[in-house]
Each structure stands twice: as C-alpha cells, then as structure tokens.
Structure 1
C-alpha cells in the first residue's frame, strides 16, 4: 500500500488526504472494503483514534460507508459523487436529466479538443463493450459502457466537467446494472458508434445530435408509462 507516515502537524487532515488518494486512484475500488482501522494505523504510523476520525470525516462526505460489524467500504470516489448519492439515490430518470446537458456539451468540446490517443481509447472501450455483450458478461458490459461515456467527457479536456460527470457516473452505473438484462436485445447503438465517428471527424454538431438521440432512447426506456 503506497501510504507513508504523515508529519506530526495536522495528522487527521493528512490521513484524510492519503485515504482520499487511495480511493480516487482506484487502489481501493468502489464497493470494496478498505483495510481495518488497526492495519491503517500501523501502515501510517499514527494512533487508531486518528484513523477513526479520518474515516468518520470521509464517511460524512460520502466517500466511505461504515457498516457496523462488517467493516468500512468505498461508497464513492469523490465528494461530488458522494453528495449526489445522498441527494438522488438511484433514481435513474433524475440522473439522466442532469447527465444529458453535461454529455451534450462534453461531446461538442471533445470534437474540438480530442487527441488521437482519445480516439484510440474510445474505440477500445466501445469494442470491449460489444464483446462483453456478445459473451453475456453483463458486469463488464455495464462497466465498459460507463467507461466509454466517461472517456468521451475526458476527451473534452475540461477538468471541471470531468469531475462533475464522474460524480454522476457511479449512480448511473448502479441504476443501469440493475435494469440491463441479457434476455432482451442489445441496446441501440445511437450515441455510441455515431458519437465516436463524430468526435473522430471533429464534427461538434453531429456529436451533440448523437448524444441527444442516445438520451431520447434512454428516457423512453426509463419512462414508466
């Protein structure tokens, strides 16, 4: 574990920073249990009370979830995501209403700012998504689909937009995982291959149109009527 003993001043804040870093880097994946309080105290060279205060602070901000008698689990990878989870739970249609304008603007920006590396990453993710569906690996399908949309946002090279979207993604992944079924046809390709082609061609208007078509389809599927 790449944790180091903090300096004597501001121990709790320093421990919070290191635990947050382990979460954000993916060393402690979403949904997994983190090391025990005793283990963390030993690794960091601080008292258990210091670790306990740091964990309590991260639980309050929504990054961690303390389950009595079971351990502490990663609940979100950023404070933005933690706050959204508290506010919205897993209400898919409400999340989609906020996610759509972010993705539309992200698609426009990506069409202008994307690099060749971004295109390679998007193509690899989309191919992986299709393979996962063909192999009936639903968890991989949902994960890779979400990663594709995140990568499209990252191709815009706007750090604020990327962070905002990341906060939404975790809630959406949970909702999509609960509703995607392997006994129905694969979801339509609108907003995926078309979006990749538009970003590749640096066509901002077409990229936005592809995203709008994708969300029209999602809203139709999530409408209870």
Structure 2
C-alpha cells in the first residue's frame, strides 16, 4: 500500500485517505484487526507518529476502535455509520426506529420508481435468502437480508435517502442479528409481500409491508425489555 506521493505537507491526510480507502473498499472488514503499527509504517513508508495520528483521527471519526493490548479494529465503514453506532450503541429500539423511518419511505418511493432490473435483483435476493435459511447459513442470511433492504431503498431513486441508509449498514446488520437472537420467529419473516407490492407499484401496500415487521419488532421489545 505505498503512498502515491511523499510530500511532507498533508502527509497525515494522505495516510488517512489510504486507510479509509482500505476500510470502505472492504480490504479491511468491519470487526477485523488492521495491520500492526510496524506493518503500517513499512507498508506506507512513513514514520510511526504519522501512522499514530492517522489511526487516532480515524478512531475519533468512528471508523476504527483501538483496544489496548489487543490491537486496532475496524468499527464502521463511514463516519456516518460510526456516529450512529456511538449514538445508538446497543439500543436496538433506536436502530429499529431509524430503520423504519428510512425503509418505509424507501419502499414507498421504490414502488413508484423501481426498474425492472431492480425488481429482478430483489427477487433473486429473496431466493438466496430462503436458500441461506434452509441451509442454516445464518451469517449469509443476515448479509442477504441487509442487502435486500438496502436495494429497496436504492430502488427509491432518492440518492440522499440511499446514502443515508448505506451509512447505517453496520447497525442494520447488527439489528438483524439481534432480532434473530431475541425473537425465535424473526428468521421466518417473509418479505414477499413487500416484493409483490413493489412489483405491482402499490405504494400504500409497500409502506404497510415495510413498516409492518419493524413495528412488530418494536412491540416485541416493548413487551420484553432487556
């Protein structure tokens, strides 16, 4: 990962940009430990202080988490997602309420604006979701489920809404995992009603379908507080 330039001015910013790129492109995945400080010094061709400043900046932005004695780990893929994780923490209710706000509106717009190609993609994702559930491949199930919900928002063709939702990728996946653990029937939720509403360009039904299972999850949390 050599630096394209080695000018002294802005050297820390260059290192931050390269490390952020490794995170956003998935080279460094969420939850994984990044290379050690000596490894980064060698790979980037800069001094220890420069690496430390870059790590400190990315940790402050919420993308990295420094664990004393254990290393530095990727916490989020964007500043927005990192901020949401700090604000919501482990409060599943907060995450679900934010999801409902974004995904219900995304579903309403998707019913009007989706393309045939996006409809086909949504159909394939639900088929893959069913396959993962049947094979009890729960990590794959969570990823596909998250991809399905994000594609619905993308199909809204509202770029800002899609970018906001993308920034919540990690907390959305975490909320799906938490629902699976807390509610035995969560993995049986069928999103075909939402798919068919989007297929039929029925915005009102899409809103009901998108908000329905999240409302049920919120009711469950109210009845079964931690």
- Give the alignment's TM-score, normalised by structure 2: 0.88
Instruction: State how far apart, in whole Å, the 2-side matches of 1:200 and 1:142 are.
Output: 23
The residue aligned with 1:34 is 34
Q: Matched residues in 2 for 1:22 and 1:113: separation?
A: 33
State the SS of the aligned residue for 2:65.
strand
* Structure 1 gap segments, 5+ residues each: none
Q: Distance in 2 between matches of 1:4 and 1:114?
A: 41
- Does 1:207 pair with 2:206? yes
Alignment RMSD: 2.2
Instruction: Name the counterpart of 1:47.
Output: 47
Encode CA deviations 1:109-144: one digit per residue, 9 max, x unaligned. 222332233223222221121111111122222222
Match of 1:188 in 2: 189
The corresponding residue for 1:69 is 69
CA contact (8 A) 2:92 2:178 kept: no
CA distance in 1, matches of 2:75, 2:192: 31
- How far 1:220 sits from its partner (Å)? 2.6
1:110-125 to structure 2, matched below 5 A, reads: 110-125=110-125
Could you tell me the TM-score, scaled by structure 1's length?
Answer: 0.88
Q: Tell me by how many angstroms 1:7 deviates.
A: 4.2
Distance in 2, Cα, partners of 1:84 & 1:59: 14
Length, aligned pairs only: 222
Distance 2:220 2:182 in 1: 15
In 2, distance between residues paired with 1:103 and 1:142? 17
Matches within 5 A, 1:71-110: 71-110=71-110
Matched, 1:219 2:221: no
Aligned to 1:143: 143
- Displacement of 1:168 in angstroms is 3.0
Q: Tell me what 1:152 maps to.
A: 152
What is the rounded CA distance, in whole Å, between the counterparts of 2:75 and 2:112 in structure 1?
Answer: 34
Q: After alignment, is 93-102 or 198-207 more displaced?
A: 198-207
Call closer, same or farther: CA 1:157–1:7 in 2, change over 3 Å: farther
Distance (Å, rounded) in 1 between the aligned partners of 2:95 and 2:161: 15
Superposed structure 1 runs of 4+ greater than 6 Å apart: none
Cα deviations by residue, 1:41-73 (Å, 9 ceiling, x for unpaired): 222222221111111100011100111222111
Gaps of 5+ in 2: none
From the superposition, tell whether residues 181 and 86 of structure 1 become closer, same or farther in structure 2 (CA, over 3 Å). Answer: closer
How far apart are residue 179 of structure 1 and its match?
A: 4.2
Query: Greater shift after overlay, 94-103 or 72-81?
Result: 94-103
